[in-house]
């Protein structure tokens, strides 16, 4: 047993950070697999498209479709990494500042669900209901986490001189 009667500092945040890290690993693997499939080591295939159009005079539309799965995987991965760190920091600050576990779980679960919905929506190709709903819920959640942190700080006397 590697945990010997220790008190975890952020036990609730750790649950969501662990789940989100697993999801991020999955997205990373999807990018790697798409790179292998398209044989693109760096970037999103744009340089291959430019060569195909300019040098080889290939049809751009058909050539572009070859790289769509890679670009989608890259954007799903990047979008996830653009939001998760900030949200987890905000979640951890709430937990450190004594906000109740019920609220931390509610925020953590909402974060996890909103990001999974958006990730699924980004793979749909077009602007789907999942993509819109996931994006909107992510924005609302991040703003709510930010405002809750500000409220907790102000109520604790952070603005007192």
pLDDT digits (tens, 9 = 90+) for 51-99: 766 666 666 677 677 778 888 888 889 988 999 999 999 999 999 999 9
Is the pLDDT at 146 greater than 70? The verdict is yes
pTM (2 d.p.): 0.78
Report residue 20 as tokens: 């989100």
Whether 111 has a pLDDT exceeding 90, the answer reads yes
pLDDT at residue number 39: 84
Whether pLDDT at 106 is above 80? yes
Q: At residue 160, does pLDDT exceed 90?
A: no
56: Cα within 13 Å, side-chain hemisphere: 10
Determine the pLDDT at residue 156.
87
What SS3 string covers the chain? CCCCCCCCCCHHHHHHHHHHHHHHHHHHHHHHHHHHHHCCCCCCCHHHHHHHHHCCCCCHHHHHHHHHHHHHHHHHHHHHHHHHHHHHHHHHHHHHCCCCHHHHHHHHHHHHHHHHHHHHHHCCCCCCHHHHHHHHHHHHHHHHHHHHHHHHHHHCCCCCC
In angstroms, the CA 42 to CA 127 distance is 27
Contact 108, 91 (CB under 8 A): yes
């Amino acid at each position: 047993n590697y945990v010997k009667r220790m008190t975890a500092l952020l036990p609730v945040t750790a649950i969501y950070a662990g789940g989100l890290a697993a999801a991020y690993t999955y997205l990373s693997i999807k990018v790697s697999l798409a790179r292998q499939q398209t044989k693109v080591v760096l970037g999103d295939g744009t340089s291959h498209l430019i060569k195909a159009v300019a040098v080889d005079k290939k049809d751009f539309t058909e050539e572009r479709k070859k790289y769509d799965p890679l670009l989608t995987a890259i954007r799903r991965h990047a979008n996830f990494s653009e939001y998760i760190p900030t949200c987890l920091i905000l979640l951890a600050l709430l937990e450190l500042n004594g906000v109740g576990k019920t609220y931390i779980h509610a925020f953590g679960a909402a974060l996890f669900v909103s990001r999974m919905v958006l990730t699924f929506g980004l793979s749909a190709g077009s602007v789907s209901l999942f993509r819109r709903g996931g994006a909107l819920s992510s924005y609302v959640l991040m703003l709510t986490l930010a405002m809750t942190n500000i409220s907790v700080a102000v109520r604790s006397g952070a603005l007192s001189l």
